[in-house]
Amino acid sequence: MMSKIEVGIARPLDSRALITFLNQVGKESHFLTMDEAGILMTESEMAHFLVQQAQTLNTVYFIARINDEIAGVIQVSADFHYRIRHIGELFVAVGGNFQGQGVASVLFEHVLAWLKKNGIIKRLELTVQARNAGARHLYEKFGFQLESIRKWGARDEQGELIDVCEYVLFI
């Protein structure tokens, strides 16, 4: 039986668990820009960051939990300047133990519902390594379009230069 995925807004009380989760996925995944160095934030810095996220109208940070353990996160960040406040940037990560359980899809459903209700973000952007076919398929499933390919936009775990795809979703 599949465990229930519970999604909620990240709160300052989540800071310690969130840092632990992000540090872990930084070590597990070669597909994130964050690496084994981790998130490089203290608990108080993370708490402050989450308060700021909650107080800003065009940003949101969701946490997905399975059995009270963080399984994944999705975040929309955006600028406060009027001319570009309608552009959001998306970050999503799912823990290795929770891959293939629908966590990312549930997170996307929550964030897209929030974006439609919120109404501020009209353009949502994300980047993904070209070699990450599973993530690219997921993004396309939710309506993201490939906008460009950034040649040598990142390095792989062996230090080789690799391409990065830039996706966009118009809301």
Task: Give residues with Cβ within 8 angstroms of 82, minimum separation 6.
Answer: none
- Which residues, other chains included, contact 12 with Cβ-Cβ below 8 Å and sequence gap of 6+? 46, 47, 48, 50, 51
pLDDT confidence of residue 34? 63
Q: How confident is the model at residue 118 (pLDDT cuts 50, 70, 90)?
A: very high
Report the C-alpha dihedral over residues 58, 72, 29, 3, rounded to 10 degrees.
-160
18 neighbors 70 (Cβ within 8 angstroms): yes
Residues 47, 32: Cα–Cα separation, whole Å: 22
Residues 104, 107: Cα–Cα separation, whole Å:
5
CATH of the domain at 155: 3.40.630.30
Q: Looking at residues 111-140, what average pLDDT do you find?
A: 96
CB-based contacts of 160, cutoff 8 Å, min separation 6: none
Residue span of the structural domain in which 146 resides: 5-170
Per-residue pLDDT tens over the stretch 91-105: 999 999 999 999 999
Higher pLDDT, 159 or 32: 159
Structure token digits, residue 146: 């490939």
- For the chain, the domain total comes to 1
Q: Shortest CA distance to 107 belongs to which of 120, 123, 126? A: 126
The CA–CA distances, whole Å, from 109 to 7, 103, 131 equal: 10, 10, 24
| Token couple for 137 | 């398929």
